[in-house]
Amino acid sequence: MKHAHLIWNEIDAKQVYKCRVFSVRDTTSEAPDGTKNVFSVIDAPDWAIVIPVLDTPAGKKFLMVRQWRHGSRSLSLEFPGGVLEAGESDIAGAQRELAEETGWKAGNIIKLGEFSPNPAIMSNRLHVFLAKDLIYTGKQDLDDDEYVDVEQIPVDEVLKGMGKEPYIHALMASALCLYLALGSGA
Amino acid sequence: MKHAHLIWNEIDAKQVYKCRVFSVRDTTSEAPDGTKNVFSVIDAPDWAIVIPVLDTPAGKKFLMVRQWRHGSRSLSLEFPGGVLEAGESDIAGAQRELAEETGWKAGNIIKLGEFSPNPAIMSNRLHVFLAKDLIYTGKQDLDDDEYVDVEQIPVDEVLKGMGKEPYIHALMASALCLYLALGSGA
């Protein structure tokens, strides 16, 4: 088997913490040479991120959301996205999050790829979509504790700003990487 | 104050879980309209990721590491990187991780930017570096439970593979996004 010398085998697992957004599991695994260790893994539902692209007379713009983030304790300007609901497909979740957060719907939505948000310590997946042919409905549908400003930002401005405030969301950058790497802007 | 209607104020915080790699804190925050809620935040040391670029007769290649990831339970092919040590600067940590994981040193290392790995639920930062003028020392220095294959992969192959196995590490993609967005490949 290719790369067999790198592959660990999980021999035990138990949940050690749980809250509204994620839980933590201690997993005991064994390396091919017999080395054993316990690794902490965070379990959470899958997430979706949508890159909504608008063709405007002033050029291509991204539809983005500005919101407070409680982990970083800062404002973040990012693509719409969120947690998939139980039993919901990735594409349905992406369409729902886009509509709820921005009040825009996608006439055309394409999956660009899939990541592990952090394969070292997280078990869930991040599904990345490109949304085109956007239609404005004006019907934002936010949670009671969700405050979101919707903004249209020129693509070049986002590219130049990445990795600095307010473009500090790494997972949004991973979505943008797919957009750039796959030549979706072409 | 700009965007003041979006900014929450933290009024209480307490640690509720702790393991070797991270801890969890319950923070109570208040929105400008008086809405209060409790948010779970994961605290961890900062991380660094290094994009090592080799100029070869066959074109530009990335120096990458293939390793087992216990969160995703899969092999991941990614840029070198890891956890900053207490008191260590981001650039020193980046140089150390590059040397330890790959046995290569950077003659030239430049910071490309900084992200929050997940601003919704994580408080730490991810520091992204570009490493050039690489020098081979052959002195990998891995932890006892770390098994890493070092590989040289053509840049185009990485770009085409992003978002599919084995290029599933979202944070590595966020680093690559900076490389692409800032025109570092030029």
CA A37 to each of CA A7, A26, A124, B66: distance values in angstroms, whole numbers, following the listed order? 14, 10, 21, 19
**pLDDT grade for A184, boundaries at 50, 70 and 90:** low
By CB atoms closer than 10 A (0-12, 13-18, 19+), residue B4 is exposed
C-beta atoms of A115 and B159 within 8 A:
no
The pLDDT assigned to B151 comes to 98
Nearest one of B30, B36, B28 to B7, comparing CA atoms: B30
A23 by Cβ neighbours in 10 Å (0-12 / 13-18 / 19+) ranks as: middle
Model pLDDT for residues B33-61, shown as the tens digit of each residue? 999 999 999 999 999 999 999 999 999 99
Predicted confidence at residue B1, as pLDDT, reads 74
- Chain B residue with CA closest to A28: the answer is B70
Closest approach of chain A CAs to the CA of B154, in angstroms?
A: 14
Q: Give Cβ neighbours of residue B26 (< 8 Å, ≥ 6 apart).
A: A19, B13, B14, B16, B38, B39, B40, B41
Q: How much of chain A, in percent, has pLDDT values that exceed 70?
A: 98
Q: Give the nearest chain B residue to A81 (CA atoms).
A: B120
CA distance A122 to chain B (A): 4
Asked if omega into B166 is within 30° of 0 (cis), the reply is yes
Helix (H, G, I), strand (E, B) or coil at A155: helix
Q: Across the interface, do A121 and B20 touch by the CB < 8 Å criterion?
A: no
User: What's the pLDDT band for B185 if we cut at 50, 70, 90?
Assistant: low
CB contact under 8 A, B35 and A181: no
| Per-residue pLDDT band at B143 (split at 50, 70, 90) | confident
Distance CA A128, CA B48 (A): 24
**CA-to-CA distance for A38 and A10, rounded, in angstroms?**
10
Residues of chain B with CATH 3.90.79.10: 47-181
Homologous superfamily assigned to A47-181 = Nucleoside Triphosphate Pyrophosphohydrolase (3.90.79.10)
Q: How much is the pLDDT for A144?
A: 84
**Whole-prediction pTM value?**
0.96
Query: Inter-chain contact B181–A182, Cβ cutoff 8 Å?
Result: no
Q: Compare B168 and B185 and report the one with higher pLDDT.
A: B168
Interface touch B123/A6, C-beta < 8 Å: no
Residue A19 to residue B16, Cβ atoms within 8 A = yes
Q: Do A66 and B6 touch (CB under 8 A)?
A: yes
CA–CA gap between residue B140 and residue B133 (Å, rounded): 18
| Tokens 């949508």 sit on residue | A50
Interface mutation target, options A9, A40, A72, A165, chain B, most CBs of B under 10 Å: A72
The per-residue pLDDT for range A82-100, each reduced to its tens digit, is 999 999 999 999 999 999 9
For B76-119, the DSSP string reads EEE--EEEPPTT--HHHHHHHHHHHHHSEEEEEEEEEEEEBS-T
How far is the alpha carbon of B121 from chain A, nearest alpha carbon, in Å? Answer: 4
* Average pLDDT taken over every residue of chain A: 95
Q: Which residue of B has its CA nearest to A35?
A: B145
Would you tell me how many other CB atoms lie within 10 Å of the CB of residue B88?
16
Who among A22, A71, A119 is closest to B72 (CB)?
Answer: A119
Q: Evaluate if residue B92 carries a pLDDT over 70.
A: yes
* Mean pLDDT for the stretch of residues A18-47: 97
The band of A186, judged by pLDDT with boundaries at 50, 70 and 90, is very low
Largest separation between any pair of C-alpha atoms in chain B: 62
* Band (A70; pLDDT cuts 50, 70, 90): very high
Average pLDDT over residues B165-173: 98
pLDDT, tens digit, 9 for 90 and up, residues B100-140: 999 999 999 999 999 999 999 999 999 999 999 999 998 99
Looking up tokens 């997972």 gives A171
Interchain CB distance below 8 Å, A16 and B17: yes
Does residue B83 surpass a pLDDT of 50? Answer: yes
Q: What is the pLDDT of residue B186?
A: 39
For residues A117 and B27, give the distance between their C-alpha atoms in angstroms, rounded to a whole number. 23
Size of chain A, expressed as the number of residues it contains: 186
Average pLDDT score over residue span A97-105: 97
Query: What average pLDDT does range A68-88 have in this prediction?
Result: 97
Exposed / middle / buried, residue B141 (Cβ in 10 Å: 0-12, 13-18, 19+): exposed
Average pLDDT, chain B: 95
pLDDT-derived band at A183, boundaries 50, 70, 90: confident
Distance from the Cα of residue A32 to its chain's centroid: 33
Give this complex's ipTM: 0.95
Cα distance between residue A145 and residue A69, in whole Å: 12
CA distance A115 to chain B (A): 4
Residue A110 has pLDDT above 90, yes or no: yes
Q: For residue B127, give the chain A residue with the closest CA.
A: A163
Do the Cβ atoms of B71 and A42 come within 8 Å?
yes
> Which of B71, B76, B115 is opposite residue A122, by nearest beta carbon?
B71
CB pairs below 8 Å between A and B: how many? 224
